[in-house]
C-alpha cells in the first residue's frame, strides 16, 4: 500500500513532491524516493525510512526541476532498503517508475527480460515494469507503458518518467487507486486526494485498465486498448483543516477528539435528504431476503455491531463476514442478496474484490464509505457516506464511530416498516444529544492516562463484553494491538470460561465493557470469576456507582448510560483513549505504527 505522487508544471517540483509524500505517508513508511528530469537528465534520490529522512538526502538535488514523481513504500517484495526503494530505473537510467500494488507474474517477466540481457538491481516485483517499458520504448512513452501494463498480472498503479520524453508523465491503474489533478498550469497524479489538497482545483479518478498522459497543460485518458476516455473532473471537496494536527501531539488524538463533530455531521447528513428523517440511503433498492456485510479490520467491527443492531430492526438473516474470507466461502448469493460493503477508504482490495464477487452473482451492493468517489463508492449500486473528514492516523477512530452511526441509521431505514414512530423519535432524541455525550466521555482522558500508566507494562490484555458490546471489545483489542504492540484479544464474556480464563492471573489485565442494559448480572459473574483468579479488572461501564462494580473493579471508567445507536459509540471512546495513552507511555509511533498502512490495496 504505497503512496504515489507526480507533478508536471512550472513550479519547482521537489517541494511539492516532499509535501505530497508526507501527506501520503500513512499509506506506507518503509522507504521513500523521488525522480526528476532537468535538461533531459533523469536524477533519482531514495532512502530507507521516512520522508523526513529523504529531505536530508535532497540537499544536492537540482531545485530547478519542474517535472517529477515520488513514492513512499510499504514493503511487499524485498526488505525496506535503499536498493528496493522506488523509483526503479531501467538498465540505462532513462526510465523511472513508481508502483503501488503487486505484480503477480513478475518472475516470469523477469526471466524473459534477463534472457534478453536486462540487469536487475533490486528484489522487488516492481523493477520488472521499468525494464518492460524500456523493452517496448521506441519514442512514445504512452505506447510503451501501455504495452508493459498489458503484460502485468495483479494490482498496480504506476507512474513513469522518461528522459527522452521530458515533457510528460504517464500513469496507469488496475486495482490500486489513482487520482488525476489539474490546475491552471500544472497536472498532477496521486494515490489519493489528501496529497493534492490546495494544489489541484479539479480531480478525476482513473478507473481500472486506464492510462493517463499528463503534460503541463493537458490530461489525456485512454484505456488499455488505446481508446480515448473523456470523464468530467470534480471540484476538490474538502477543507485544509483535516490534514493539520491543530496543536495535538498526534493525528490519532486529534481525530479521537473530533468525534462529536464527525458523528454529528454523519447523523445530520442522514436526515437532510427527505421528509422522513430516515433517508441516509437516497437511492431506491429492490426487495431482498438476506443481508451480508463485508469489510476488514475496524470496518468489520462496525459491521458486526450493525449485525447486532439490525436484528432488532429487520426480520431477514444478517451476517457480517470478513471480506478476505467471504471470497474463500460459498455464501448464498442471488438477486435477493443485499450486500453492504463497509470501508472508510473505499479502496481496501479485499472488500473491493468481495464486492465484485457479490455483484457478479447478481447481488445489490450498498457501499458505506468515508471517501466519496473511491473505487468501492463508484462500483456499488448505491452509497451511504460517513462524514468524518480525512483520517490521517493509521489506527481508525472517528471513521469507526461514524460508521456505527451511519449503519445504525441505514438499518433503521431498511427496517422502518417494523419500527414504531415512538421508537424512531426516541432514537433521534438520543442521537441529537450524542455529540454532547461524546464530549462527556472525552472528559475522562486524564483518568484514562493514569490507568494506561498501569496497563503499559502488560504483555497480554483481554477485552470482554456481551451482546452488541462484544464487537466493541474486539475493536478495543485491535486499537491496543495496532499502536502499543501489546498482544490483546476481544472475547464474548460468556465464552471466557471455555478457554481464555486459562490466561487469567495477576499479570493479565482484563477490560470489561459492562452496561446495565446488556446482561449486567451475567457480566458481573464473569468479573467474579476473574477476581477469583487474582485478575486485574478495568471496568468501562454506565453503572459506575453500582456497589458490585465498585467492589470488583480495580479501575472503573464511566460512560453515559444511553441505549440505542449511542451505546456502542460511547463505549468505544474510552477504549480509543486507553490504547492511545498506553502507546504514548510505551513511546511507540502512534500515527504510523510499525508494519501497518492506512489503506490496504494488496491482497
Residues 6+ positions from 498 with CB-CB distance below 8 Å: none
Q: Residue 49: which of 31, 37, 68, 33 has the closest Cα?
A: 31
CB atoms closer than 10 angstroms to residue 588: 17
CB closer to ligand AGP, 584 vs 600:
600
Q: Does 343 bind ligand AGP (CB under 6 A)?
A: yes
What distance in Å separates the CA atoms of residue 462 and residue 93, rounded to the nearest whole number? 53
Size of residue set near ligand AGP by CB under 6 A: 16
CB atoms closer than 10 angstroms to residue 242: 18
359 counts as catalytic: no
Q: Which of 31, 348, 515, 526 binds ligand AGP (CB under 6 A)?
A: 348
Residues 139-168 that bind ligand AGP (CB under 6 A): none
Residues 426-485 that bind ligand AGP (CB under 6 A): 482
Q: Does 349 bind ligand AGP (CB under 6 A)?
A: no
CB closer to ligand AGP, 94 vs 295:
295
Q: Which of 344, 383, 401, 536 binds ligand AGP (CB under 6 A)?
A: 344
What distance in Å separates the CA atoms of residue 21 and residue 242, rounded to the nearest whole number? 16
Q: Does 592 bind ligand AGP (CB under 6 A)?
A: no
> What own/partner pairs with CB < 8 Å and gap ≥ 24 does 310-314 have?
310/407, 310/411, 310/414, 310/415, 313/411, 313/412, 313/414, 313/415, 313/416, 313/418, 313/419, 314/411, 314/414, 314/415, 314/418
Longest Cα separation, the chain: 81
CB closer to ligand AGP, 536 vs 599:
599
What distance in Å separates the CA atoms of residue 95 and residue 54, rounded to the nearest whole number? 21
Q: Which residues pair with 538 in a beta bridge?
A: 511, 555
Q: How far is the CB of 295 from ligand AGP (least distance, A)?
A: 6
CB closer to ligand AGP, 386 vs 413:
386
- Interface stretch with ligand AGP, choices 184-192, 345-353, 356-364, 425-433 (CB under 6 A): 345-353
- Interface stretch with ligand AGP, choices 136-144, 164-172, 340-348, 501-509 (CB under 6 A): 340-348
What distance in Å separates the CA atoms of residue 406 and residue 399, rounded to the nearest whole number? 10
CB atoms closer than 10 angstroms to residue 590: 23
Q: How far is the CB of 111 from ligand AGP (least distance, A)?
A: 34
Q: How far is the CB of 161 from ligand AGP (least distance, A)?
A: 30
Q: How far is the CB of 137 from ligand AGP (least distance, A)?
A: 36
**Helix/strand/coil for 418:** helix
Q: Which residue has its beta carbon closest to ligand AGP?
A: 297
Q: How far is the CB of 395 from ligand AGP (least distance, A)?
A: 4
Q: Does 345 bind ligand AGP (CB under 6 A)?
A: yes
CB closer to ligand AGP, 193 vs 212:
193
Q: How far is the CB of 576 from ligand AGP (least distance, A)?
A: 10
254 counts as catalytic: no
Q: Which of 132, 211, 252, 396 binds ligand AGP (CB under 6 A)?
A: 396
Residues 100-119 that bind ligand AGP (CB under 6 A): none
CB atoms closer than 10 angstroms to residue 372: 15
What distance in Å separates the CA atoms of residue 304 and residue 273, rounded to the nearest whole number? 27
State the cell numbers at 561: 448510560
**In the sheet where 228-229 sits, what is the strand order?**
88-89, 95-103, 154-162, 169-174, 210-215, 218-223, 228-229
CB closer to ligand AGP, 219 vs 367:
367
| x-marked contacts with ligand AGP along 265-304 as a string, rule CB under 6 A | -------------------------------xxxx-----
Residue 361 burial (CB < 10 Å; 0-12/13-18/19+)?
middle
Q: Does 375 bind ligand AGP (CB under 6 A)?
A: no
CA 110 to chain centre: 32
- The catalytic residues are 2, 598
* List of residues contacting ligand AGP (CB under 6 A): 296-299, 343-345, 348, 351, 394-396, 482, 598-600
Amino acid at each position: 500500500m504505497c503512496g504515489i505522487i507526480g507533478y508536471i508544471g512550472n513550479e519547482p517540483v521537489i517541494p511539492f513532491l516532499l509535501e505530497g509524500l508526507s501527506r501520503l505517508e500513512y499509506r506506507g513508511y518503509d522507504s521513500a524516493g523521488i525522480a526528476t528530469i532537468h535538461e533531459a537528465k533523469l536524477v533519482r534520490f531514495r532512502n530507507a525510512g521516512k520522508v523526513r529522512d529523504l529531505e536530508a538526502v535532497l540537499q544536492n538535488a537540482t531545485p530547478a526541476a519542474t517535472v517529477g514523481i515520488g513514492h513512499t513504500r510499504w514493503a511487499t517484495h524485498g526488505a525496506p532498503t535503499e536498493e528496493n526503494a522506488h523509483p526503479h530505473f531501467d538498465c540505462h537510467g532513462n526510465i523511472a517508475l513508481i508502483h503501488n500494488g503487486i505484480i503477480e507474474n513478475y518472475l516470469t517477466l523477469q526471466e524473459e527480460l534477463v534472457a534478453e540481457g536486462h540487469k536487475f538491481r533490486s528484489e522487488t516485483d516492481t523493477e520488472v515494469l521499468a525494464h518492460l517499458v524500456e523493452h517496448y520504448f521506441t519514442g512514445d512513452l504512452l505506447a510503451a507503458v501501455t504495452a508493459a501494463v498489458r503484460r502485468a498480472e495483479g494490482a498496480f498503479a504506476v507512474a513513469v518518467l522518461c528522459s527522452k520524453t521530458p515533457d510528460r508523465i504517464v500513469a496507469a491503474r488496475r486495482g490500486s487507486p489513482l487520482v488525476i489533478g489539474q490546475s491552471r498550469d500544472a497536472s498532477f497524479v496521486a494515490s489519493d486526494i489528501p496529497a493534492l489538497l490546495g494544489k489541484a482545483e479539479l480531480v478525476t479518478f482513473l478507473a481500472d485498465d486506464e492510462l493517463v498522459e499528463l503534460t503541463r497543460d493537458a490530461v489525456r485518458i485512454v484505456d488499455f486498448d488505446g481508446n480515448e476516455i473523456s470523464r468530467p473532473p470534480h471540484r476538490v471537496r474538502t477543507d485544509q483543516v483535516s490534514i493539520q494536527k491543530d496543536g495535538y501531539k498526534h493525528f490519532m488524538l486529534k481525530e479521537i477528539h473530533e468525534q462529536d463533530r464527525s458523528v454529528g455531521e454523519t447523523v445530520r447528513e442522514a436526515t437532510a435528504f427527505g421528509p422522513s428523517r430516515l433517508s441516509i440511503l437516497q437511492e431506491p433498492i429492490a426487495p431482498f431476503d438476506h443481508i451480508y456485510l463485508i469489510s476488514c479490520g475496524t470496518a468489520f467491527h462496525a459491521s458486526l455491531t450493525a449485525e447486532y443492531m439490525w436484528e432488532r430492526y429487520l426480520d431477514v438473516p444478517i451476517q457480517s463476514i470478513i471480506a478476505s474470507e467471504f471470497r474463500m466461502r460459498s455464501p448464498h448469493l442471488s438477486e435477493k442478496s443485499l450486500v453492504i460493503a463497509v470501508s472508510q477508504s473505499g479502496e481496501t482490495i479485499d472488500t473491493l474484490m468481495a464486492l465484485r464477487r457479490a455483484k457478479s452473482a447478481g447481488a445489490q451492493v450498498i457501499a458505506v464509505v468515508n471517501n466519496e468517489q473511491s473505487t468501492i463508492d463508484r462500483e456499488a449500486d448505491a452509497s451511504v457516506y460517513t462524514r468524518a473528514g480525512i483520517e490521517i492516523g493509521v489506527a481508525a477512530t472517528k471513521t469507526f464511530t461514524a460508521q456505527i452511526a451511519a449503519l445504525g441509521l441505514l438499518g433503521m431505514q431498511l427496517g422502518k416498516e417494523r419500527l414504531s414512530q415512538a421508537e424512531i423519535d426516541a432514537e433521534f432524541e438520543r442521537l441529537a444529544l450524542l455529540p454532547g455525550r461524546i464530549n462527556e466521555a472525552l472528559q475522562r482522558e486524564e483518568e484514562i492516562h493514569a490507568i494506561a500508566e498501569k496497563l503499559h507494562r502488560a504483555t497480554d490484555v483481554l477485552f470482554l463484553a456481551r451482546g452488541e458490546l462484544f464487537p466493541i471489545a474486539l475493536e478495543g483489542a485491535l486499537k491496543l494491538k495496532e499502536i502499543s504492540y501489546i498482544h490483546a484479544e476481544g472475547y464474548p464474556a460468556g465464552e471466557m470460561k471455555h478457554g481464555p480464563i486459562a490466561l487469567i492471573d495477576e499479570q493479565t489485565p482484563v477490560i470489561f465493557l459492562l452496561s446495565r442494559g446488556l446482561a449486567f448480572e451475567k457480566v458481573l459473574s464473569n468479573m467474579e470469576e476473574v477476581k477469583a483468579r487474582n485478575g486485574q479488572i478495568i471496568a468501562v461501564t454506565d453503572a459506575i456507582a453500582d456497589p458490585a462494580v465498585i467492589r470488583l473493579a480495580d479501575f472503573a471508567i464511566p460512560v453515559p448510560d444511553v441505549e440505542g445507536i449511542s451505546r456502542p459509540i460511547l463505549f468505544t471512546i474510552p477504549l480509543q483513549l486507553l490504547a492511545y495513552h498506553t502507546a504514548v507511555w510505551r513511546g511507540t509511533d502512534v500515527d504510523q505504527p510499525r508494519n501497518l498502512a492506512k489503506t490496504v490495496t494488496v491482497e
